[in-house]
């Protein structure tokens, strides 16, 4: 027995509305409020109390979009730095002073950086600006030896943003 079947009619129903995908905005800006970069030269060990009198490096992070964004502020330590971070203390905003070596490790953004340390992470609301301060100094526990004399510390601030998901 042999049989063949086929349809003579076909029905297609198109969608009546259009699918729309809207991309969001993801944009942060970093503005230096100092005329010079972070600079530790001719340093010597000082106490936290004395460090409170230093002029901090000041910068702003601005979310130019209307949506909230996750962000992270890192300090990338450059390859040109010869002073080990175990000798550096820092104070970020109103946080308590801490050893830079104890800050959370991150992946350096800059190809000329050896390590990165996270200073802050969080969420920034849309169309807002946050001001931040960073003070760096040689810890008072450091003894003046060849390990720290005639050395330099070079670093830069890096702000990374990612979309906030619900």
The CATH code of the domain that includes 140 is 2.60.40
Residue 162: closest CA among 63, 21, 75: 63
| Residue 8 maps to a domain | no
Say which residues have a Cβ less than 8 Å from residue 24's Cβ, sequence separation at least 6: 65, 67, 163
| Residue 6 maps to a domain | no
pLDDT tens digits for the chain (166 residues)? 666 666 566 666 777 776 666 556 767 787 887 656 676 767 889 999 999 998 888 899 999 888 888 999 999 999 999 999 999 999 999 999 999 999 999 999 989 999 999 999 999 999 999 999 999 999 999 888 778 888 888 899 999 988 887 6
**Calpha distance 51→39 (Å, rounded):** 14
How many other C-beta atoms are found inside a 10 Å radius of the C-beta of residue 68?
A: 15
Here the tokens at position 32 are 């230096």
Across the beta sheet with 88-92, the strand order is: 28-32, 57-63, 128-138, 88-92, 98-99
Domains identified in the chain, total number: 1
Say which residues have a Cβ less than 8 Å from residue 96's Cβ, sequence separation at least 6: none
| Residue 94 maps to a domain | yes
DSSP per-residue letters across 45-104? -B-HHHHTTSPPEEEEEEE-SSS-EEEEEEEEEETT--S-GGGEEEEETTSPPEEGGGSP
| Residue 10 maps to a domain | no
**Calpha distance 136→156 (Å, rounded):** 12
DSSP per-residue letters across 116-161? EEEEEEEEE-TTEEEEEEEEEEEBTT---STTTTT--B-EEEEEEE
The pTM score is 0.81
Q: Which domain holds residue 97?
A: 28-163
């Amino acid at each position: 027995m042999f049989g063949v079947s086929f349809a003579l009619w076909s029905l297609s129903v198109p969608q009546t509305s259009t699918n729309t995908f809207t991309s969001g905005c993801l944009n942060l800006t970093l503005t230096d409020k100092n005329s010079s970069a972070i600079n530790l030269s001719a340093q010597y060990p000082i106490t936290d109390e004395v460090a409170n009198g230093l002029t901090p490096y000041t910068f702003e992070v601005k979310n130019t979009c209307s949506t909230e964004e996750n962000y992270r502020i890192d300090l990338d330590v450059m390859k040109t730095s010869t002073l080990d971070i175990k000798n550096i203390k820092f104070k970020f905003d109103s946080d308590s002073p801490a050893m830079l070596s104890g800050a959370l490790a991150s992946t350096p953004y800059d190809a000329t950086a050896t390590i990165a340390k996270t200073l802050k992470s969080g969420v920034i609301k849309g169309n807002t600006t946050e001001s931040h301060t960073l003070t760096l100094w040689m810890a008072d526990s450091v003894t003046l030896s060849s390990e720290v004399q005639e050395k330099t510390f070079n670093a830069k601030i890096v702000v990374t943003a990612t979309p906030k998901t619900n």
